[in-house]
Chain A
């Protein structure tokens, strides 16, 4: 079975441009998370989707960040007007559902803002 996949694997963009990152969770997993991992730092929670419930957006650092998820499938994380401090690896993880603890991570998208 396929794991969590993310695309692109690497993205270089100019400051001020918008970027869109994609996450394909494990089929059937109802929960999906986005995290940011800056160089030398621990993972930071960004946003959490659980089924059809309203997402937990409490980790989004600014209104330039947004994410969507279509049903229980693909999710996209959008960063508008990128800044150099947005440079990081963006990781997506999925979890089978309520009562299941294990999160399965994708390989991440390395974003570099020049």
Chain B
């Protein structure tokens, strides 16, 4: 069964600090790994998409890594801002399906 597990479930950090969110996936066949940001009451917005051959991809202060051998990904947020408070969702894509994690709820505190 395809699964995506994210950790931690929730996280509180101080504004300006860095943090790293983790994602483990069991999806076969595997095509790409995506990270989305979902603000409360809004739809998810794509941050990064990595194919199995990519190890890292950045989008501003967001940097995602992918290890296709161990089926692990991480999302690193640098110099956090209050607007980074959101749910971060990891998604593993097969050829025709997406498997979503439950998300990590991040709260950036002033």
Contacts and interface: CB of A to CB of B under 8 A. Distances in A.
* Interface residues on chain B, size class: 10 to 19
B102 A106 contact: no
A62 interface: no
A44 B98 CA distance: 9
Interface stretch (B14-22, B39-47, B68-76): B39-47
Interface residues of A, number: 19
A101 B99 CA distance: 14
Given A41-B102, A42-B4, A45-B98, A108 B43 contact: yes
A97 interface: no
Given A101-B32, A101-B49, A42 B102 contact: yes
A44 B32 CA distance: 18
Given A42-B89, A43-B89, A107 B42 contact: yes
Contacts, number: 40
Nearest to A6: B43
Given A4-B43, A105-B44, A43 B100 contact: yes
A67 interface: no
B43 A45 contact: no
Interface string B97-109: 1111111000000
Interface in B32-60: 32, 41-46, 49
Interface string B69-94: 00000000000000000000100010
A45 B93 CA distance: 12
Interface string A1-44: 00010000000000000000000000000000001000011111
A40 B49 CA distance: 24
B43 A105 contact: yes
A45 B97 contact: yes
Give 8 closest A-B pairs by Cβ, nearest first.
A105-B43, A42-B100, A43-B100, A42-B102, A105-B44, A107-B43, A106-B43, A42-B101
